[in-house]
Structure 1
Amino acid sequence: MQDDLLVVGFDLETRREVHVAERPPEQWKRLGYGGTGQLVCFYCFHGFEAAVGTRVPLVTRGRLGGKVRRHFAHPAGHAPLGGHSPETVWHITTKHTLAAWATSRPGVDRVRLEQWTPDHDRRADVEVLLQDGTKVALEAQRQLMTDDGWRARHRDYARQGIVDVWFWRPRVHFPHIVLDEGLPVWFYSVSQRMAATSLGRAHARTDQWWKTPDLSVFGLHHPPCRLDELERVTLPLGALGLGAGGATLPEDLRKRLLESQREAQQEAKQRQASEARHARALRESRERAARAPAPTPLPPAPPGSLRCEVCHRPLDPLLAKNRRHILC
């Protein structure tokens, strides 16, 4: 099922967004179309492609394990003309899903939707305050952004000490400047309720590769570099962590990356140690030469005597043709 076919529910009694997987279909049937009517379309009620406050009770379709996943839908003839915008569906649902995910993460003190930054330059889709005081902005980005547009938003957040984490709609091209800034790229599928990201494959080991400041790039690494070959991974949103650096990979995947990087890091240490031993031996040799006493000057040679052109000692006339001692 594609994201643009989904409808998110809104419970008029609890005044909150609801998802079809939260309750058995029998309960939703009692609350939706043909029942009490308190389960309505979130988008219609909040004024997307309909007047604000429009109440359209929902039906539940599909079945668990079936070809069509269980989902909410408008009753026949009750949907807005042309349906809801796919971008609207994805953005609103992802924003609320990210807020619910952040609330469930350990170390989170507060989560709020649609909050302005202190200088009122930017409004985060989801503002998260961690218990250590770190502020995190979660952005659900449904459309392509230019490099300059994304960089301006990212640097505004950074200037105010806010960590920005971007989740992109699947199949939307993201600005590659994101990777240049050292940030991972996350995608979120509303229909599958799954997050995705890419790992960078190991870089080729070029000349003196062991002197590279970040040796992790010689194994699987995250985030990837701009020109890397990529390995895509998909995982439940709930498997991701959230900390002072933003969203984090689950422990088993982090271990896989560390294991992939370990061999290169060990070889680099061996090469660095070998270079250090060579440099130390050369330095000690030069120091010994500097401390050695000056050689005793040779006595002056009699006029007309032969000298070895190498050691400058007297040379037997038999060796005059070669102009040096046999061993010189």
Structure 2
Amino acid sequence: MSTQGQSGHADFPRAFQQEKRQVWARDGDTKALVYLPDGQADGEIRPGVTWRAYIRGGMLLCPMPGCGPFARVVASPSRRHHFAHRAGADHASGTGPETLWHLSAKELLARWAAAEPSLHGWRLHIDDTPISMPEGWRRPDVLAVSPDGSARVALEVQYSTLTGEEWRARHGFYARAGVVDIWVFAHHGPQWRSRAASGPARREELAHRDPGWTAAVGLSGLHQAMLQDEVVPLWLDPTARTIGTATALFAPAAPPRSRTSRLVRNPALYALPPEHNFRACYIAADPLEECRIDLSAGELLTSARARHRQERIRLLADQEAAQERLDALQERQSQDTERRRQQEQQRRRERAAQYAAELEEEIRQADLRAREDQRLREEELAAVQARLQTPLTEDYPLQLTPAPTPAPAPDRPRGWWLPRRRRRK
């Protein structure tokens, strides 16, 4: 329950603290319910008449039928100012305090509707006008009917147990009847399951919290069914005349860890309605007199609900901006990748061109060497052929000189020492 940035409503800091002291009484003169503001026990109920004097005259009655007048008004610095019964008095009707608060809540909503600018001139009915359909009928707690009867708004105050299926059936009935139905729940009893905002049982959606938020409430299957149908649950505290709106603080999901995280991460928190699977949520309380009826949306527009819409717009804008940053980053990365690819292709083409030029030069040099070798071979062959075709007498004349006749060898006597060759026989 956030108390920051709100109006100076005297009862606002005490809202949704499960206060059960009686602050509503029935005027014995006008028969209307009157409300005791906190801290006003010594004040005046009307000019010249104090609360204490009026209650001593027996003119302030308990709203419960047959209960009788209050005995006194209690003023305490530590407790909320309230009415007190006579000793031994109780609600003998057996309906219990739940009906008392139900009556007080209906009276409070009817007074608010009578002063609501968007319902100016509308007829108000408190628990006395049924809505009939071929399938059956329902009687809303407070029914506002436009002057021409073309529009109707039903205010339902739910204090008893109700399942999600039962709520869907009643919500569908009002929709088929063309009635805008607005549901508010009790600030105690089965519709209020208090959860400690800092307790160990809180879910992750309660981890981020405003220091001024001191109340959290568990969400039943009924509330989760409403959230599934995009209806935000509301609670009413008639003792403080405040409306509580189901609210959760959301942190956007962090992107995967990468070098792009710092560009798309948004550290902001957003106050939005809880998801339909949340087990608990915070209560953002607003004075009832600051609330309005949004007929186009079919809901009670509290200050917190208006903030929900603004936060949704801000969230979408931030998501769009983050997506644009991410797209721009990816575009730059794509351009860088394309540029590197083109540069690599250009380098490859240059290397290929250089290799082709070197290969062409090698081929040219080899061709030159082959031609030179061919030329040399042809020259040698021509020289050989020329030599073969040239007559030898012309180039090489014969110069024949008769060889000298060798002189006969002189006869030499055979020595006796020489062996004689035997003649073969």
Match of residue 285 from structure 2: 234
Letter in 1 for 2:73: R
Aligned length: 261
- Deviation by residue 1:218-238 (Cα, 9 ceiling, x = unmatched): 973554331357443112222
The CA deviation at 1:101 is: 1.2
TM alignment of 1:57-72, pairs within 5 A? 57-63=69-75, 66-72=77-83
SS in 2 for 1:167: strand
* 2:184 and 2:236 in contact (8 A); partners too: yes
Structure 1 segments unaligned to the other structure (5+ residues)? 45-53, 208-217, 279-317, 319-328
**For residues 8 and 222 of structure 1, do their structure 2 counterparts lie closer, same or farther at Cα, with a shift above 3 Å needed?**
same
* 2:67 and 2:90 in contact (8 A); partners too: no
Match of residue 182 from structure 2: 165
The CA deviation at 1:57 is: 2.0
- Deviation by residue 1:257-282 (Cα, 9 ceiling, x = unmatched): 5256425425426747998xx9xxxx
**For residues 242 and 269 of structure 1, do their structure 2 counterparts lie closer, same or farther at Cα, with a shift above 3 Å needed?**
same
Q: Residues of 2 paired with 1:192 and 1:274: CA distance?
A: 48
SS in 1 for 2:174: helix
SS in 2 for 1:151: helix
Match of residue 145 from structure 2: 129
**For residues 263 and 81 of structure 1, do their structure 2 counterparts lie closer, same or farther at Cα, with a shift above 3 Å needed?**
closer
Match of residue 247 from structure 1: 300
* 2:62 and 2:69 in contact (8 A); partners too: yes
- Deviation by residue 1:192-221 (Cα, 9 ceiling, x = unmatched): 3322112243374599xxxxxxxxxx9735
Structure 2 residue 246 is matched with structure 1 residue 193: no
Letter in 2 for 1:17: L
Match of residue 286 from structure 1: none
Higher RCO, 1 vs 2 (CA within 8 Å, ≥6 residues apart): 2
Letter in 2 for 1:143: S
TM-score, normalised with respect to structure 2: 0.52
Percentage of matched positions with identical amino acids: 26
Counterpart selection for 1:220 from 256, 270, 285: 270
Counterpart selection for 1:148 from 165, 168, 173: 165
* 2:270 and 2:315 in contact (8 A); partners too: no
Counterpart selection for 1:268 from 316, 320, 327: 320
The CA deviation at 1:134 is: 3.1
**For residues 222 and 123 of structure 1, do their structure 2 counterparts lie closer, same or farther at Cα, with a shift above 3 Å needed?**
farther
Structure 2 residue 226 is matched with structure 1 residue 178: yes
| Higher-Rg member (1/2) | 2
- RMSD between aligned alpha carbons? 3.8
Structure 2 residue 310 is matched with structure 1 residue 258: yes
* 1:7 and 1:42 in contact (8 A); partners too: no
**For residues 267 and 151 of structure 1, do their structure 2 counterparts lie closer, same or farther at Cα, with a shift above 3 Å needed?**
closer
Letter in 2 for 1:123: R
Q: Residues of 2 paired with 1:266 and 1:8: CA distance?
A: 46
Structure 2 segments unaligned to the other structure (5+ residues)? 1-16, 192-219, 256-267, 331-358, 360-425
